A and B are shown apart, each in its own frame.
Chain A
Amino acid sequence: MATLRRLRETPQHFLSCVMSSFHDPRPRHRHFVETHYYNYKVSFLIPECALLPKELKSLVTELGPYYLVKNLPLHEFITPEFINTFVKKGSCYALTYNTNIDEDNTVALLPNGKLILSLDKDTYEETGLEGHPSKYSGRKSMRFSAAESSLMSYFSNYHIQEHQPRVSGSSLGELPCPVLQSDYIAGLPGVLCGAPELFEWLGAVCSNVDQNNEPHNFISTYCCPQPNTALAKAYLCSITGFLLPEKICLLLERLRHYFDEPKLAPWLTLSVHSFADSPVAWREKEHGFHKGGEHIYNFVIFNNQDYWLQLAVGANDDCFL
């Protein structure tokens, strides 16, 4: 019976929400973003806005490039030439492509020069390296990001391809949205929605879920959290690829300054999805894949420069906010 009960349980997950202000002299938001190394998707939602604002246009198209190098032997990372050319200059990131952290060997190069190897038992024993067991129980293709033209010439003996992040934007019509106030991160029953309700609603918007269902509807009963208000329009932009924390920091700053001039929007959001198969999520904290490898953070930026920061992680992750 205990086994049956255990099989029926859903994996544990965590959602942490904190509040602060951009006027805080300690730039914790910047440090947080800069230490999330492997970012797959960034999206931002601006209520009461139909088009991509001018001040964001150029930045959104300059978040790349990144490089795919096929059949790269790992020993290339520990050559003195590579270390002097890229690692010592900082801001070199690499991650194996098309490897599943729960099944395959995975490698990541952090910008501080550390090489993280997540290996299965046989490979670990073959390497003869000293390590420790994963908390959560190759010649490979690698994704890279570093100084542009130097990577192309350094790995010219291998098959290297340059890629640009994919950008997509859409203007959303009328949609309901939760009523928020920056001081009330947990909401106020009957008056304000809190951060968890906002987080779920944001998922519905990004997945294009219909939010105007009746309770007796056969297909779906999902509706916007209460209390809610109607937005006349909103702009949703998504960028996918191998995205650097430094660029995401810039984007965050530009979004924060969106409210330098009066706007109809009371707030906007910036969400970042990590790679599901990176061996580390934040700093050097181990990341795993249980039934999913979700590791998402989301900023809700208010027009008074307060912000909420939300971190959602699955079973095989540490929650640290």
Chain B
Amino acid sequence: MEFEESWSQRIMRIDPSDYHYMKVCLEFEEHGIGLNAAQFKQLLVSALQELFGEVGAALPFDVLTYEEKTLKAILRVCNSGFVKLWSSLTMLGSYKGNKCAFRVIQVSPFLLALSGNSRELVLD
């Protein structure tokens, strides 16, 4: 790291965020299946339970935003549970008998990063 010494004040934090944020999208094989926010959260809790049992299902996480139309959401999870949550999303294959999959669009320890993803820039 390279620092310029002459700033009036400086604070430098390594791993400052206690949380990781994930922008995800749920895709169903068939169209027309909807979930409200509570059902969406419950689905994630079930995914954790399926892979990690009751202890995994108790992992606290937040659904910060949820769009019912597009089934897109921003999740917040503590750093220690990040890998567990992501792997649960990966292994989830169905909801009420309907085949589905989670797409993890973006992850970051900074919530601000999720509002600007240059990989979503489409020019053609």
Residues of B bordering A, CB below 8 Å = 1-4, 6-17, 20-21, 37-38, 41, 60, 62-66, 74, 76, 79-80, 82-84, 106-119, 121, 123-124
Contacts and interface: CB of A to CB of B under 8 A. Distances in A.
A195 B11 contact: yes
Given A202-B112, A312-B113, A19 B119 contact: no
A8 B76 CA distance: 17
11 contacts: A12-B15, A13-B109, A18-B7, A100-B119, A200-B112, A207-B64, A238-B115, A271-B112, A273-B115, A294-B110, A296-B110
A292 B116 contact: no
A35 to B, nearest CB: 12
Interface residues of A, number: 67
For the complex, would chain B's binding face be called helix, strand, loop or mixed by DSSP majority? mixed
Given A14-B15, A20-B8, A207-B114, 10 more contacts: A10-B83, A13-B16, A16-B10, A16-B13, A196-B16, A203-B110, A203-B112, A209-B111, A220-B76, A312-B110
Contacts of A206: 112, 115-116
B15 A292 contact: no
Contacts of B109: 10-11, 13, 314
A21 interface: yes
A17 B11 contact: yes
A274 B117 CA distance: 9
A291 interface: yes
Which 9 pairs of residues, A with B, have the shortest CB-CB distance? Answer: A203-B111, A203-B112, A273-B116, A206-B115, A41-B116, A294-B113, A40-B118, A18-B7, A220-B62
B13 to A, nearest CB: 5
Contacts of B12: 14-17, 319, 321
A221 interface: yes
Contacts of A296: 110, 112-113, 116
Contacts of A161: 123
B111 A97 contact: no
Given A219-B37, A273-B116, A10 B64 contact: no
Given A203-B115, A209-B111, A321-B3, A14 B123 contact: no
Contact of B62 (A221, A298, A321): A221
A277 interface: yes
A299 B63 CA distance: 28
A276 B65 contact: no
B116 to A, nearest CB: 4
Interface in A207-235: 207-210, 218-222
A277 B106 CA distance: 13
A219 B38 contact: yes
Contacts of A275: 118
A194 B2 contact: no
B65 A207 contact: yes
Contacts of B38: 218-219
Nearest to B2: A320
B41 A218 contact: yes
Contacts of A207: 64-65, 74, 111, 114-115
A109 B123 CA distance: 20
A194 B11 contact: yes
A241 B112 CA distance: 17
B104 to A, nearest CB: 9
A10 B19 CA distance: 10
